[in-house]
Amino acid sequence: MKRVERGIRRKNPPPPEGKKPPWLKVGLPTGPKVAELRSLVENLGLHTVCQEALCPNLGECWGHGTMTIMILGEVCTRACKFCAVHTGNPKGRLDPEEPRRVAEAVKRLKLGYVVLTSVDRDDLPDGGASQFAATIRAIKAEWPRARVEALTPDFQGDLKAVQKVLDSGLDVYAHNLETVRRLTPSVRDPRATYDQSLKVLRFAREYRDQKGLSYLTKSSLMVGLGETEEEIKEAMQDLRDAGVEVLTLGQYLRPTRHHLPVARYATPEDFARYREWGLAMGFLEVFSGPLVRSSYRAEKVFLEAER
């Protein structure tokens, strides 16, 4: 893959930051099922976050029929300091056949749960919201048994764009807050503000209730960037006050030497405590653990939250 403006090659290994704790060590995803799905994904021309981000949970999620598919290309218009996705200007490029191809792929893979996500596309008039909506509708038409979660950008706070996604028939609307208020300016791109993310999530919940729709609302936080526990609790409460129902919390891991260093490794006991905080705040479900990512076992999170 060619380097693009301000781009970062994912193959750069992270620098040594001391020995990682044993709870962060997992084996490589292997086995016939994983190999079969890798081959199918390659042949279908899909981009999966599972592979792009070298996710340690790939084998577990794929084995349960869950996959996170990245639409709208591989070049992001933003440059968050925790993310290894390439940054540049896609110049409005859009694949009109993408919704159909993704829907066909979901059917061929017989997926039970699909997470659709994307890079930020500030170069598009609606940030790519129409492509999200078209892809969700195509999946529902081609493979009705699939549950679809849309993990979207903030669309620069354009609520009309958010509404396009919410009207598409999705099962879960997700947008990640990522980190605590104090660290947001140093962790996320300047265009991605803490309050803007809360505004988008609050609108998603209020719109659902006004229209009588049935999707869940979801967000995610990383820890290990220098936040305090009080700040974590504050961010969780802000999300709950915005109407978010499902929350995931995981450990930040530095993707390359160009990204923010890890400030601390939270322990499994820490994550268990965060989960208890979240449940006490009224979240329907909280998935909290060192290797949890926003899409980790999304189908299980959905089923647990629906109970």
pLDDT digits (tens, 9 = 90+) for 272-305: 999 999 999 999 999 999 988 776 665 566 666 6
Q: Give the C-alpha distances (Å, rounded to integers) separating 53 from 68, 158, 266, 301.
A: 11, 27, 21, 21
Q: Which amino acid, residue 27?
A: G
Do 305 and 285 touch, CB atoms closer than 8 A?
yes
Q: Does this model's pTM top 0.75?
A: yes
Task: Report residue 239 as tokens.
Answer: 């999300």
Give residue 10's pLDDT band: very low, low, confident or very high (50, 70, 90): very low
Q: What is the pLDDT of residue 259?
A: 87
Whether 25 and 253 have beta carbons less than 8 Å apart is answered as no
Is 27 a residue whose pLDDT tops 80? Answer: no
Reading the block at residue 31, the tokens are: 């086995």
Q: Which of residues 166 and 113 earns the better pLDDT score?
A: 166
Residue 195 burial class via C-beta count within 10 angstroms: exposed 0-12, middle 13-18, buried 19 and up: exposed
- CB atoms closer than 10 angstroms to residue 222: 24
Q: What are the helix (H) ranges across the chain? A: 32-44, 49-52, 58-63, 98-109, 129-142, 159-166, 184-187, 194-211, 229-241, 268-281, 298-306
- Residue 62 has a pLDDT of 57
Least confident span in 85-94, 153-162, 198-207, 294-303: 294-303
What pLDDT was estimated at residue 85? 80
> What is the mean pLDDT of the segment spanning 2-31?
55
Q: Between 101 and 10, where is the model more confident?
A: 101
What is the band of 7 on the pLDDT scale with cuts at 50, 70, 90? very low
Domain boundaries, the chain: 27-306
Helix, strand, coil percent content, the chain, rounded in steps of 5: 40, 15, 45
C-alpha to C-alpha distance for 41 and 60, rounded to whole angstroms = 16
Q: Is the pLDDT of residue 306 over 70?
A: no
Residue 227 — pLDDT band, cuts 50, 70, 90? very high
Categorize the per-residue pLDDT at 30 as very low, low, confident or very high, splitting at 50, 70 and 90. Answer: low
Q: What is the pLDDT of residue 123?
A: 96
* Structure tokens given for 50: 């599972």
> What pLDDT is stored for residue 8 in this prediction?
36
The CATH number corresponding to 27-306 among 3.40.640.10, 3.40.630.30, 3.90.660.10, 3.20.20.70 equals 3.20.20.70
Residue identified by tokens 């322990």 is 267
pLDDT band for position 51 (50/70/90)? Answer: low
